[in-house]
Structure 1
Amino acid sequence: MELRGATALVTGTNRGLGHHFAVELLRRGAKVYATARRPELVDVPGAEVLRLDITDQASVDAVAAVADDVDVLVNNAAFTAGGNLVTGDLDAIRLAMDSNYYGTLAVIRAFAPVLARNGGGAILNVLSAAAWTTVDGNTAYAAAKSAQWGLTNGVRVELRGQGTLVTALVPGLIATETMKDFARSAGIVLAEGAMIDPADLARLALDGLEAGDIEILDHLGADAKATLTGPPRAFDLQSVAAG
């Protein structure tokens, strides 16, 4: 997928990885729609900023009608604080699933015809190594990411006929403020190099997209996938902290 001259839409660009995706896409010569629930928080010079709530079908439809020249879709926006499945708040658990699974699906369904009209293009879904393990303290998020992995594999099959590349980015720990705050609140001191810088991850992901990869993993993502050949295993932040 050639990104120079492409038109990309990125969800959740007000901070973290989404912001770096938008910046890196612009650097590579793409036109960028930078979207967020609160567009006033988006700071990506050169991008066209749009309001998008991926859990609101009317919002999704409105953006798809405006951004009808898109040929690259980056599904990054997601609610990450679902909590535990058995003891957590059920509304938070539903929000984790609504954003990661149903929200991603809503955006894909809205933009699949747009991508088809524009030659097929590509979809990049931001998953998590938690999809292949789980995380005590946030098992709801891990379950939602597992569902999103299944979604990604499913739409890849469905959209193959229209020439759309569907790619999964599966990182471990991203050095965002959200992740750093979680580690601090849990009293975890992560080992040097345990977290990947979001700017580096955006470059890794877009390199993979341009190469036509269907899965893009950092080292923790690769470790998590390797566990699928054995008994189910939880992602152990303490072992990462120990290096």
Structure 2
Amino acid sequence: MKFSAPLVSGRLVKRYKRFLADVILDEDGSEVTAHCANPGSMLGLKQPGSRVWLSQSDNPARKLKYSWEVMEADGALVGINTAHPNKLVEEALEAGRIAGLSGYAKLRREVKYGKNSRIDILLEASDGGLTYVEVKNVHLMREPGLAEFPDSVTARGAKHLAEMADMVAEGHRAAMVFLVQRPDCARLSLAGDIDPAYAKAYAAAREAGVEAYAIGCSVTLEGIEAVLPVRLEV
């Protein structure tokens, strides 16, 4: 995934109300409010003064001209925009980078299933077999080299795990794909101390036959690609 135009650099003033971030632009020192497309807590990624990069929209109908895309944390570039993971995983699947989820004839996005839910990606084999793929964005790192999910309580995530287990019970495949939007993590585990209920739901889903995969990202100021191996430790 390539950014459509060069990113604009700045320094983070604060992230607030979940979806807003004030940034001082390097170019002229002006302060702007950018859209932060990330509903999580962004634990460890919202330190004032952090170097950040924004995309800029030329759509006159948009209330906020800028969107927060990338930041520097722990010496690495980290992607924080949670609107991108589904596209990144789609690209990885089409390129055959996720072992066990390759060779499908058809891929569809945002397909209705379960109890009033939508699956991120639905894979269909040439024989008609279905694999339900739920994508989770990951960027929490509290221990060097170890990515963790989630960074806040996610009742919605636990609900998705139960519904995917239901798909397995109906004879389909179901798989979690943890997309790590940073290049400095070679392992991934669950943050059970942050959300014990999610950890419990995850264990139950795995016991029911839900598969799990993880892949990391190369992050540059030109674009983001899901190309790096990540070892799943749960």
Please tell me the TM-score bracket, short chain as reference.
Answer: 0.3 to 0.5
Q: TM-score, normalised by structure 1?
A: 0.35
Whose strand proportion is higher, 1 or 2? 2
Whose helix proportion is higher, 1 or 2? 1
Computing the radius of gyration over CA atoms, which structure comes out larger, 1 or 2?
2
Q: TM-score, normalised by structure 2?
A: 0.36
